């Protein structure tokens, strides 16, 4: 009933306009009066019946509206200076565009009418002209606004215009922040070092952002959202890419990164890490905020624009990390690969928060993929370290049974790696690395993946050293070699994070091995000499005893001299261990020698030739022992 009543009311209004309107203009004016008087008398409803009745007056009204709008819009489209230079001009232009949008919207339901359809085609052409001009104005505002940008902290405290010094002397600074460039013809904001990331960039003045929003709103409503997004992203992408370039990061392909000399690549990794932190923690969030303000109310257009702005720079950063991930597995690369891995890991929350929309999902997923690939690279480097140990040949013996270079290299390498223990534990825990169970203690089943990995490398090193020890023909020197390397290994473990990874049981076990090597050395070198000092049964005849004692002292002199001469070039690098060995040998040999000399002095036949037979006093023996195992040093 209400609808019938409204239709009757509209019919009455149309009849009045048709009856009293002596011409089209008068009828149109009457319709306008009704429309202003009551919202139910909209122009669309009042004109609908007249058009349906083939009344040309409605179409004439549309033509007059388009003519007026054409006159207004065309005068601004033809201006040879920026429309937004004057607030009055920009407001009038936007009002005219709003009028055109309303006209197209109101008359579009009647587009099937031939006359109305022709008018709407003209309206679309006029809208396209207007959009071309506002697109230019949009671009101009973006360019002009970038020249007057300012930096502000999140509490809106201005930091003023800053300058970036890219000199290598400043490379120790941890991070950078964008500021003005030095090119007067084309200034683009770039970076200077900062100590924290609690900062955002207001890359455009607030007034400019409001103007851009008003333009973007009209373009999106008019169906030109993609064009607006393209202009916006082109301008902001240039800003972003130039800013990252000013941070010192080169645009390199994956192939170029892999061909770069390692020393240069190390420096590039440092620059990459700084640039990635600035981009993800400052630049991208600032661009996200700017997009949301310019395209406020149009989230899809904001998301698309943001993705287009940041995609190139993000891909540049991720491609570099990917090049590192798929590069050489050489062990010396571990620490820089760890730097890249840790940088991406620490930035994952930023990737999640900044790239949270549907358009950026592919970028976030790519970051996660490359981060995991870096973890695989780290595990691959440890596998290469294992292969390096296995392949290290047992060809040349280390002089004097000293410390082997492979021992020093592996232990210092593992100590340095353990400074990134938390990261390595994360890397190994995320893997399914299987270590041969027959090579490790069953108690390690409950250990962390990294503990198992380190223990396995230690097993490989020990096996390699045992193979190398077989090069020595002298069993005593073989024991010295294993003693030296075993002692060094235990010391390095106890003096680092390796101690907590391998555990007290491991240290006790390998300390006992070192003691066993010491015992083996002592037996191999001195037990035979000690046997020459063993006294015979006193029941023998005196002349037989004298003869036996002469032979024993001669044998002792010869063997002791040979041992001292041979071991003068041997070395025990650890001073404490060397002193312990000397004390142990002295305690073994000196009492026996002292007792032997006491017995010798009771035999007159021997003492008549004492100067010729007795070469060493007890003190001489002790002095010679204290000169041993120093590698020929006096």
Q: Which of 105, 2, 108, 1 is nearest to 51 (CA)?
A: 108
How many C-beta neighbours within 10 Å does residue 160 have? 8
Mean pLDDT of all residues in 2-29: 57
Question: Between vectors from CA 169 to CA 165 and to CA 174, what angle results, nearest 5°?
Answer: 75
Q: Which of 123, 133, 132 is nearest to 80 (CA)?
A: 133
Is the per-residue pLDDT at 611 higher than 80?
no
Mean residue pLDDT across the chain: 81
Look up residue 158 and give its DSSP letter.
B
How does residue 198 score in pLDDT terms, banded at 50, 70 and 90? Answer: low
Q: Which of 92, 41, 43, 88 is nearest to 71 (CA)?
A: 92
Lowest mean pLDDT among 131-135, 155-159, 366-370, 629-633: 155-159
Please give the Cα distance from 190 to 561 (Å, whole number).
77
pLDDT value for 161: 36
pLDDT value for 38: 61
Mean pLDDT of all residues in 54-83: 80
Mean pLDDT of all residues in 375-404: 91
More confident residue, 490 or 611: 490
Please give the Cα distance from 75 to 85 (Å, whole number).
15
Is the per-residue pLDDT at 98 higher than 80?
yes
pLDDT digits (tens, 9 = 90+) for 310-333: 999 999 999 999 999 998 899 999
Give the number of residues written for the chain.
634
pTM above 0.95, yes or no: no
pLDDT value for 1: 47
Lowest mean pLDDT among 21-35, 208-222, 329-343, 494-508: 21-35
More confident residue, 110 or 96: 96
């Amino acid at each position: 009933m209400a609808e019938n009543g409204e239709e009757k009311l509209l019919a009455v209004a149309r009849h009045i306009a048709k009856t009293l309107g002596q011409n089209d203009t008068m009828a149109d004016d009457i319709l306008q009066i009704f429309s202003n008087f009551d919202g139910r008398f909209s122009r669309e409803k009042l004109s609908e019946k007249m058009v349906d009745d083939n009344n040309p007056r409605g179409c004439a009204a549309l033509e007059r509206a388009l003519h007026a709008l054409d006159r207004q819009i065309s005068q601004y489209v033809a201006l040879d200076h920026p429309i937004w230079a004057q607030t009055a001009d920009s407001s009038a232009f936007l009002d005219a565009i709003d009028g055109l949008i309303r006209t197209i919207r109101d008359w579009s339901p009647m587009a099937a009418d031939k006359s109305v359809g022709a008018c709407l085609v003209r309206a679309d052409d006029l809208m396209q002209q207007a959009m071309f001009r506002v697109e230019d104005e949009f671009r101009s505002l973006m360019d002009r606004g970038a020249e007057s940008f300012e930096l502000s902290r999140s509490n809106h405290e201005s930091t003023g215009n800053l300058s970036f010094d890219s000199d290598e002397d400043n490379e120790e600074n941890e991070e950078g922040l964008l500021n003005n460039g030095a090119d007067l013809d084309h200034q683009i904001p770039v970076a200077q070092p900062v100590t924290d990331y609690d900062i955002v960039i207001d890359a455009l003045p607030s007034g400019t952002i409001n103007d851009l929003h008003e333009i973007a709103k009209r373009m999106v409503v008019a169906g030109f959202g993609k064009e607006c997004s393209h202009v916006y992203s082109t301008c902001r992408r240039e800003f972003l890419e130039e800013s990252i370039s000013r941070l010192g990061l080169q645009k390199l392909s994956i192939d170029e990164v892999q061909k770069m000399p390692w020393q240069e690549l190390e420096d590039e990794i440092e620059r990459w890490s700084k640039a990635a932190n600035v981009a993800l923690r400052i630049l991208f969030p600032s661009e996200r905020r700017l997009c949301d303000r310019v395209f406020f109310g149009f989230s899809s257009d904001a998301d698309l624009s943001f993705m287009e702005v940041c995609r190139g720079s993000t891909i540049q950063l991720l491609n570099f990390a990917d090049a590192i991930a798929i590069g050489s597995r050489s062990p010396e690369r571990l620490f820089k690969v760890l730097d890249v891995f840790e940088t991406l890991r620490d930035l994952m929350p930023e990737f999640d928060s900044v790239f949270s929309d549907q358009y950026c999902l592919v970028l976030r997923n790519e970051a996660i993929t490359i981060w995991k690939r870096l973890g695989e690279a780290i595990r691959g480097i440890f596998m290469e370290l294992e292969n390096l140990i296995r392949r290290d040949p047992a060809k040349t013996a280390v002089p004097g049974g000293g410390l082997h270079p492979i021992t020093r290299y592996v232990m210092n390498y593992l100590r340095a790696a353990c400074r990134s223990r938390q990261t390595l534990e994360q890397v190994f825990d995320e893997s399914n690395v299987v270590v041969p169970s027959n090579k490790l203690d069953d108690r390690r089943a409950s250990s962390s993946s990294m503990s198992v990995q380190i223990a396995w490398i230690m097993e490989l090193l020990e096996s390699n050293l045992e193979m190398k020890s077989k090069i020595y023909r002298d069993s005593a020197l073989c024991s010295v070699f294993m003693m030296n390397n075993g002692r060094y290994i235990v010391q390095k473990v106890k003096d680092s994070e390796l101690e907590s990874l391998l555990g007290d049981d491991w240290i006790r076990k390998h300390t006992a091995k070192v003691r066993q090597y010491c015992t083996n050395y002592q037996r191999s070198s001195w037990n035979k000499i000690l046997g020459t000092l063993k006294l015979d049964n006193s029941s023998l005849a005196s002349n037989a005893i004298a003869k036996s004692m002469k032979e024993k002292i001669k044998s002792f002199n010869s063997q002791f001299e040979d041992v001292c001469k041979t071991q003068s070039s041997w070395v025990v690098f650890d001073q404490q261990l060397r002193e312990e060995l000397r004390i142990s040998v002295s305690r073994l040999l000196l009492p026996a020698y002292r007792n032997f000399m006491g017995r010798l002095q009771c035999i007159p036949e021997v003492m008549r030739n004492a100067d010729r037979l007795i070469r060493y006093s007890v003190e001489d023996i002790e002095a010679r022992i204290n000169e041993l195992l120093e590698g020929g040093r006096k």
